[in-house]
Amino acid sequence: MKYGLRFDQKNKGYLNECDEIIIPYNRKFDELRLIADYPYKQFVIEIPYFVDDVDWKRLDNFNKMCQNRLVVEISDIDDVSLCKQYGLKFFYGFPSSTFEELNALKALGVSYFKVAAPLFFQLPEVKKLGVPIRMTANKSRWNDIIPTGMFGTWIRPEDVNLYEDYIDTIDFFSSTPEQESALYRIYVHEKEWPGLLNQIIFDINCPGVNNRFLNSEITERRINCGQSCQKNGNCQLCRRSFHLANREFLKQYTSEIDKF
């Protein structure tokens, strides 16, 4: 598994360890310094949707200086033509939820796929399209319509190895460099989390679920379950597992049993 960290990460040891360095375009950065400090890293430039004054020539020069190790994350599909004009590798920053979208992106020549549900639950089929997949491990929901991320695209530290055959690169959703550093340590070095799941999966909205009580059987199922719980409701493995890992639920359940 490859890992990406943001360029302003204060833990330089982790920046030296990781595989790619992520740079928001709307932040000040020194490409010469980055290339000098990290001569073998891949660099990912994130271009937010609201940025419309991109200096494409600068990105072209950056790419040439780092020997074609620059990848651009675009938020506007119209930027595809500019990436191609300057010979820049690129991928679309918004996760796709249908195979129709993936096939269209593949035809455009993207270097990576980002996937949302239900494609996240059909990874063996997505892999057959032959485009590397990248995921934000600790982000569960991609819009606010969905009330809970229980059935979302989260990846636990304990289960990263189960995704090795399908996912190429993982990055993290975080508010601060310190938070990102902690997540990197948990996912890459410790490979486990003994606390509540919503402490590392920030938008899962399932308070009280103790990660220690969740079994990797869930992930083995989720990799290719097709998110059947949302189609026909036949599978309730995630819901049952979350309930059993929730101390408050167990207290309520046992108190009800004791009444008999």
231 found inside a domain: no
Q: For the segment 86-110, what is each residue's pLDDT rounded down to a tens digit?
A: 999 999 999 999 999 999 999 999 9
Task: Calculate mean pLDDT across residues 215-244.
Answer: 89
CATH number of the CATH domain containing 85: 3.20.20.70
Give the contacts of 196 (CB within 8 A, at least 6 positions apart): 207, 208, 209, 210, 211
Number of domains the chain contains: 1
Domain that residue 85 falls in: 2-208
| Alpha carbon of residue 201 to chain centroid | 11
182 found inside a domain: yes
Q: For the segment 4-60, what is each residue's pLDDT rounded down to a tens digit?
A: 999 999 999 999 999 999 999 989 999 999 999 999 999 999 999 888 899 999 999
227 found inside a domain: no
225 found inside a domain: no
Average pLDDT, the chain: 92
Classify the C-alpha dihedral 145-151-156-160 as positive or negative: negative
Give the contacts of 248 (CB within 8 A, at least 6 positions apart): 208
Name the residue type at position 92.
Answer: Y
Task: Band the pLDDT of 251: cuts 50, 70, 90.
Answer: low
249 found inside a domain: no
Task: Band the pLDDT of 202: cuts 50, 70, 90.
Answer: confident
6 found inside a domain: yes
Task: Band the pLDDT of 138: cuts 50, 70, 90.
Answer: very high
What are the distances in angstroms from CA 140 to CA 69, 97, 143?
A: 29, 14, 9
Terminal CA-CA length for the chain: 51
258 found inside a domain: no
Q: What confidence score (pLDDT) does residue 255 get? A: 47
228 found inside a domain: no
CA–CA separation, 260 and 257 (whole Å)? 6
CA–CA separation, 66 and 76 (whole Å)? 24
DSSP three-state, residue 134 = strand
